[in-house]
Chain A
Amino acid sequence: MPELKDGCVTPAAGPIVPESEANIPDLGTIPAKEVKTVLARVGKEAIDFEANAFVADEGFKPIKLSDHKGKWIVLCFYPGDFTFV
């Protein structure tokens, strides 16, 4: 089977956390990607991540926060598409 280019379960890398910061207990059962700790703090370096994105006029592509390192970045989270506010 050929791999789907834009399949609905194509994962992006998610948070890219230095191992020392992630503080993941080595229990074998916990996937290494499981990050529960809040790491974002004002005055501290931003945590990089990669996510699948939709970009107008370009379509679907993975985007990293650090793609824009060296520029001012505004990162906006919101509860969901088609919500009212």
Chain B
Amino acid sequence: MAAVAALYKDLQALGVEVMSVSTDSRFVHKIWQHEELSKMVDGGVPFPMLSDAGGKIGKIYGVYDEAAGVDIRGRFIIDPDFVIRAMEVLTPEVGRNPNELVRQIKAFQHVRKTGEVTPSGWEPGDTTLTPGPDLVGKVWEVWKP
């Protein structure tokens, strides 16, 4: 969570709103912010920290672990039409890579703006593809891994 907070300025520059969710109460969120997060990241976590009491929200997003009673790591990108564009779900012991989150948002925003599609590992400025009959069997001419 602190890692996402550290990239918050980049996310804001992309016009992204962030929300974090765990089964902890909002009171615990407050103390975590004061006791620890504010010491990891300047100013602490700048986005709303939501409380998913009972895992009701985690259940509909497919991240609630019934046995442990917690929401496991799950990250969702939602576009301005309120459509889920990406999800990444991990078991708790491995943290996420927020740089990949930023890359995916840039790619989805580019696709939304241009109608082009982005090959794997695409970064802004890299070659994009324009799908169509002429490209079938010819991707190798314009793009290689």
Q: Is the CB of B49 within 8 A of A55?
A: yes
CA separation between A70 and B129, bound complex, in Å? 27
Q: Is the CB of A54 within 8 A of B33?
A: yes
Size class of the contact patch on chain B: 35 or more
Q: Does A32 contact B (CB under 8 A)?
A: no
CA separation between A85 and B95, bound complex, in Å? 5
CA separation between A46 and B19, bound complex, in Å? 14
**A17 cross-chain contacts in B, Cβ below 8 A:** 60
Nearest residue (CB) in A for B63 is A77
Q: Is the CB of B61 within 8 A of A76?
A: no
**A54 cross-chain contacts in B, Cβ below 8 A:** 26-27, 29-30, 33, 48-49, 51
**B63 cross-chain contacts in A, Cβ below 8 A:** 77
Q: Does A19 contact B (CB under 8 A)?
A: no
**A11 cross-chain contacts in B, Cβ below 8 A:** 53
Q: Is the CB of B70 within 8 A of A80?
A: yes
Known: A52-B51, A81-B32. A72 touches B61 (CB 8 A): no
**A8 cross-chain contacts in B, Cβ below 8 A:** 25, 27
**B21 cross-chain contacts in A, Cβ below 8 A:** 51, 75-78
Q: Is the CB of A83 within 8 A of B92?
A: yes
Minimum CB–CB distance for B141 against chain A, Å = 29
Q: Does B75 contact A (CB under 8 A)?
A: yes
**With A72-B17, A72-B77 already in contact, 18 other A-B pairs whose C-beta atoms are closer than 8 Å:** A14-B56, A35-B56, A38-B61, A44-B83, A45-B81, A51-B51, A52-B26, A54-B26, A54-B33, A54-B51, A68-B17, A69-B82, A72-B78, A77-B63, A78-B73, A79-B65, A80-B24, A81-B28
